[in-house]
Chains A and B, each alone.
Chain A
């Protein structure tokens, strides 16, 4: 089941990066996010799965698509990268992948692989347990998030307001 999901997930993720048309790119992202949500679901994280669909695949992606359509970007703008930039980027992607691979290879053997059943409590991933964590252990973080959002709103307003004069 894991591989059944992960192969298309990787493919669509590549689609996001490689697609020439922004709309296609965005739609690939939607599919990738959906697949991710299914994965969360399979891991018994039902709440996260639902949030994934509602917030990311739903709200944020719609916003993305709106922006793309409003700007009417059918095609990617003219190639701006310097010659060689792609090669360098590619090279670094490969190096980065190698480093990650090295980490994974050293860590994987001791980790439980796919298909291994891990016992979870019935309340795992439920709304209740999440809420409980959020309002007790992470109460401060929860409150600080509101400060962060307020700060971000003020910042956004300041930067987006019409310039006087």
Chain B
């Protein structure tokens, strides 16, 4: 597919740095003054710096939108590494792709900040919370505004760190702390591959000047051998599977739900987890050179979409269901970029940011009302008590289920249509996933909002709708979950796919490979996805409203399968046995070997110098130093042997 790359027009501007700087000032404010100035000031500063960043982002967006196609706003702050063969700059850029991303990050981010003002109000770590949240915004903005791969990596690491800090925000709970740890370790695995990929890329460019900027990577990538490009892109994709929770590194995301709910909405649904998709779209020129990598991306995406959806079928924790649905939806985005439909992937990223943030904030509202209860089996009938939450949650559920007219329908349809053209097998998988999604989301919805209230009397007495500051973001997001889809209609409707047209200069691929699918085919595909969505909803209705005993019967009949799903395919246990335990044991062995005697001595030796001297002497005589000397000698002998063997 040879399409003419639209000419890139670079315009140097000087206002871009305000976008990350404003939240950064917020961070400093919260850290150094937060505890002194009180909650009110924090409540004002926290969201308003993000709002200000949003306004600046809007300016940037409009400039890009109204400017000539392919306009890139750029601001070079300073040359970071102008040495020898390397010339990496600290430079921010906003093209069509980044413009969409910064709007999502600051826009949805602002709503979630606002929501947090009430949600977190009674938390003792209030200022700390906003400091982390603002810091996250900074890192995410750096990630999406970076003009080169190294700066992107700065943001990449930054959002990881914030995610870690926020998951474990309620650290007094062991489960939270270990969830944070898990997220961190799993992401390490991905980041290792990511970093090796970056190094490899740099290395393979060979001598000459490098800026590592994305335009240069696109340019030079063509001169590399296909094997290298495939290797590099696969390594970078492994990094993406970590950050964006895809198979096989998805395991941290469900646990990450231990963090505060607004955090789940912002980081683990709307923004950070989509970084992997963004990265691939950003490097689309490189990925297009590596068809194998794209196939891998698409396959992993489709498999994840179905895999996570099946687990989501039986979960009973409201946030866990949403977590698995996030993994599944991210799978769709990877499927999209994997089949070369980059703009469709970003489109789904956009609509998903709206409706998933909405669903998470809605679940937060529910949890808030239920006094912290997260088990959907103990909810039910909340429609009466939480009317606003109910209505908005319904919109979100319809959107994610892919009911026509809602945002999720258009973006998902765009992906499915493209997948059908490129890889019918994966389309089949994705269609199954869509049906499952509709089923489990409506299962959730029915169990929570309809039917009898199964909460105990005490909880029921305290049920109340959340205050305005929490419901306003819900309403705004609900509106966006509807209208957000209309920027990218199917080509044959009204104004067509404006979104892809807007993105085209940045990610290319707006022209479909084999031309547009036949109109009839497109309508038929759409019909199929609408059908599965409605079928999923119908089954959920039958199971949970009409005949609530069915699920138990099914679970009893298919015990094995149910257990497998309930235990999430035992993946955690498998990883623990394969990786975690051996490493922990190795560390302990090394530790014992060199450490234990001394550490024990130091820890227990609190009582009196005389006693400790005795202990020390005894230790001395058991030959600790001799052991050290021995290890020295062994090393020497081995070295001598090595040299003699060579010499």
A touching B, CB within 8 angstroms: yes
Q: What is the interface of chain A, defined by CB distance below 8 A to chain B?
A: 80-82, 85, 88, 92, 95-96, 99, 102-103
Interface membership of B613, Cβ < 8 A: no
User: Closest CB of chain B to A164's CB: distance in Å?
Assistant: 16
Q: Are B637 and A99 in contact (CB under 8 A)?
A: yes
B634 — which chain A residues lie within 8 A by C-beta?
Answer: 92
Give bound CA distance, A85 to B623, whole Å: 9
CB within 8 Å of A: which B612-629 residues = 621-623, 626
Candidates B621, B626, B630, B640; contact of A99 at CB < 8 Å: B640
Q: Are A103 and B621 in contact (CB under 8 A)?
A: no
B633 — which chain A residues lie within 8 A by C-beta?
Answer: 92, 96
Q: Are B641 and A92 in contact (CB under 8 A)?
A: no
Interface membership of B520, Cβ < 8 A: no
Interface membership of B578, Cβ < 8 A: no
Interface membership of B606, Cβ < 8 A: no
Q: Are A102 and B644 in contact (CB under 8 A)?
A: yes
Closest A residue, CB atoms, query B633: A92
Closest A residue, CB atoms, query B644: A102
Size class of B's contact patch?
10 to 19
Q: Are B644 and A82 in contact (CB under 8 A)?
A: no
13 A-B pairs (CB sep. < 8 Å): A80-B621, A81-B623, A82-B623, A85-B623, A85-B626, A92-B633, A95-B637, A96-B637, A99-B637, A99-B640, A99-B641, A102-B644, A103-B644
Mark contacts of B589-622 with chain A using CB atoms, 8 A cut-off: 1 yes-contact digit, 0 otherwise: 0000000000000000000000000000000011
Give bound CA distance, A85 to B640, whole Å: 23
Give bound CA distance, A19 to B415, whole Å: 87
A82 — which chain B residues lie within 8 A by C-beta?
Answer: 622-623
User: Closest CB of chain B to A85's CB: distance in Å?
Assistant: 7
A103 — which chain B residues lie within 8 A by C-beta?
Answer: 644
A102 — which chain B residues lie within 8 A by C-beta?
Answer: 644
Q: Is the contact region of chain B dominated by helix, strand, or loop, or is it mixed? A: helix
Give bound CA distance, A81 to B620, whole Å: 11
User: Closest CB of chain A to B359's CB: distance in Å?
Assistant: 65
User: Closest CB of chain B to A93's CB: distance in Å?
Assistant: 10
Closest B residue, CB atoms, query A78: B621
Closest B residue, CB atoms, query A82: B623
Give bound CA distance, A96 to B638, whole Å: 10
Q: Are A88 and B621 in contact (CB under 8 A)?
A: no
Candidates A80, A81, A88; contact of B630 at CB < 8 Å: A88
Give bound CA distance, A96 to B634, whole Å: 9
User: Closest CB of chain B to A98's CB: distance in Å?
Assistant: 9
Closest B residue, CB atoms, query A85: B623
B622 — which chain A residues lie within 8 A by C-beta?
Answer: 82
Q: Are B644 and A92 in contact (CB under 8 A)?
A: no
Give bound CA distance, A30 to B446, whole Å: 97
Give bound CA distance, A92 to B627, whole Å: 13
Give bound CA distance, A85 to B629, whole Å: 13
Q: Are B644 and A99 in contact (CB under 8 A)?
A: yes
User: Closest CB of chain A to B369's CB: distance in Å?
Assistant: 66
Give bound CA distance, A88 to B633, whole Å: 12
Mark contacts of B125-138 with chain A using CB atoms, 8 A cut-off: 1 yes-contact digit, 0 otherwise: 00000000000000
A96 — which chain B residues lie within 8 A by C-beta?
Answer: 633, 637
A80 — which chain B residues lie within 8 A by C-beta?
Answer: 621
A95 — which chain B residues lie within 8 A by C-beta?
Answer: 637
Give bound CA distance, A92 to B634, whole Å: 8
Give bound CA distance, A85 to B626, whole Å: 10
User: Closest CB of chain B to A108's CB: distance in Å?
Assistant: 15
Give bound CA distance, A71 to B622, whole Å: 23
Give bound CA distance, A80 to B625, whole Å: 14
Closest B residue, CB atoms, query A80: B621
Contacts A96-B633, A99-B641 aside, 8 further interface pairs with beta carbons under 8 A come to A80-B621, A85-B623, A85-B626, A92-B634, A99-B640, A99-B644, A102-B644, A103-B644
B641 — which chain A residues lie within 8 A by C-beta?
Answer: 99
Give bound CA distance, A96 to B644, whole Å: 13
Closest B residue, CB atoms, query A100: B640
Q: Are B623 and A92 in contact (CB under 8 A)?
A: no
B623 — which chain A residues lie within 8 A by C-beta?
Answer: 81-82, 85
Give bound CA distance, A96 to B641, whole Å: 10
User: Closest CB of chain A to B519's CB: distance in Å?
Assistant: 83
Pairs of residues from A and B, 5 with the lowest C-beta to C-beta distance, nearest first: A80-B621, A99-B640, A95-B637, A92-B633, A99-B637
Give bound CA distance, A88 to B641, whole Å: 19
